[in-house]
Chains A and B, each alone.
Chain A
Amino acid sequence: MKPLSDGAVERLRLRLEEPDLEGTRYRLVGRLGAGGMGAVYLVEDPELERRVALKLLDTPDACGDLARRLLREARVLARLEHPGIVPVHDVGTLGDGRIYYTMKYVAGVRLDRLDAGMGLAERLRLFLRIVEAVSFAHSHGILHRDLKPANVMVGHFGEVLVLDWGLAKLTGASAAAESRASPAAFPDPSRTGHGAVLGTPGYMPPEQASGASESVDVRADVYALGAILRELIVVPGTQTPPALQAIVRRATSPDPAARYGGARELGDDVERFLDGLAVSAHREHPFERARRLVARHRTAVVLILTYLAVRALLLFQARGH
């Protein structure tokens, strides 16, 4: 038999990787990507005639912990109905025993692949939408704990969706509801069975990296949001304003007590910056303050200066006569 070409070998390998959706209502369209413990596929739901994203485990899961994490993630998402959080549609099991869930398919780009030409104000407005979604989750007692640009999708109309809630931590009433529903079924997902800490270096605060998951609170997400903001405010060809740098410094302080008390507080400071107001994280130099005020009241300043110039000109002409 003629040996397979390199192209055929690659296609067959891809075919083998694809999940067998026999027995589900979905038809495979293609692979969208992978993240953490799961791979995400684009599938078609012929009954509703729409495309959705299907996430399933793609790593060995001998003890079943990962399957429980995936199911837990789906349930967390089901609780969070917010325009900035990807809605889950359905949970099921494939013929090979793997658990999957389907969610809204978002056509867009990940935040880490954002168009470099986007201006600072537009970037900050995107950031505020992320903050709103995270703040909403916090108000329901849910921490994300793996916020990073790769976990944020930006749609073609500027809509923002926070993805990948596999490491979420439930606190307060949410945690109580979870343990009532499935006592001991969901171990803390921030640790593997071998005790390794999960999360993403660079976006994970020191208290989370040290494995002290009990002491992690909303300020861990504030740290990650600060790390995201640090990347977003780097606009090619421009200097980053000191006030924004100060906001990032405060949000990503190694000491949780020195950070903003919550995502909303961080968002408020960014909004103040956008409105041309002083931000709480930054003590301004008088010159800086004057420049900000001029920038904020640009029209009034221009009118006043024009008026004064015209008056000076008229005075000068009157004296000449």
Chain B
Amino acid sequence: MSERAAGAFPDTRWSAVAAARSADPAERERALAVFAASYWRPVYTYLRLRWGQPAADAEDLTQEFFARLLERDFLASYDPSRARLRTFLRVGIDRLLANQTRDSRRLKRGGGALPVPLDREDAERALAGLAAARAENAEEFFAREWTRSFLGLVVGELRKVCAGGGKDVHFRLFARYDLEDGPPGDDRRPSYADLAREVGVSPSDVTNHLAWARREFRRIALARLRELTASDEEYRLEARSLFGLTPP
């Protein structure tokens, strides 16, 4: 199991969509790593919770989906002016499920496609924390799970940046204030004064450290979103619809 693809963004700064359409197999493989990093968990969760697939079948289908994604003609049919990439991919999963038989899936995986390093056990543990039947439609469900996966990866990258820059306190404050949940039914946040005592800094340091961490979080999120969209317009649309952001 590769920790790189299962729990972190691959280190890249180009558009994964453009790379996935490249004639160069190595470029396409790198693109797959980027897609897999942010999409494998929502794809797997979608198959398990929305389509009710058993764990083993969901894993097979996830692998099959990413194998198809690597084929040049799959993304060649994607037109950014007609749909968002996320929607295009979600519809792709639906079609895959509707058309494929179990045997053909196995045949496909055995046919030499590159397997995606997904962590099924980890994904299954995560499923336990999600409601089995969600009221929202497939598009909303997939968007929400993708947002969860994407933001989780951004948090992971922020943690690395903080650790590498001697800013562990910054990340700790960010995690305490923005990531950790309070007791059930109580969404109040800890006060800056309490956090200052807990971490051993002044309240104004809490304000400044949190501002820095949030700024860095925003920067990473935008940079990574840019890689996962096919056009400048889609990037701006996604930034706005998912996060209310207006990219500079």
Contact = CB atoms under 8 A, between A and B. Distances in A.
Interface of A is mostly: loop
Interface in A1-52: 1-5, 7-9, 11-13, 15-18, 20, 22, 27
Interface of B is mostly: helix
A7 B184 CA distance: 11
A27 B126 CA distance: 37
Interface in B233-248: 236, 240, 242-248
B15 to A, nearest CB: 20
Contacts of B247: 96
B107 interface: no
Nearest to A11: B178
Contacts of B7: 1
Interface bracket on A: 20 to 34
Contacts of B246: 57-61, 96, 98
B41 A60 contact: no
B187 A7 contact: yes
B207 A3 contact: no
B201 to A, nearest CB: 17
Given A1-B156, A4-B148, A17-B244, A12 B178 contact: yes
Contacts of B93: none
Contacts of A98: 246
B58 to A, nearest CB: 16
Given A3-B129, A27-B207, A16 B244 contact: yes
A2 B123 CA distance: 9
Nearest to B245: A16
Interface string B134-149: 0000000000100111
A3 B178 contact: no
A320 interface: no
Contact of A9 (B129, B151, B214): B151
Given A3-B41, A60-B240, A16 B152 contact: no
Interface stretch (B26-34, B48-56, B80-88, B215-223): B215-223
Interface of B: 7, 41, 126, 129, 144, 147-149, 151-152, 155-156, 178-181, 187, 207, 211, 214-215, 217-218, 221, 236, 240, 242-248
A-B residue pairs, 9 tightest by C-beta:
A17-B244, A16-B243, A96-B248, A3-B126, A7-B181, A8-B179, A12-B151, A1-B7, A4-B152
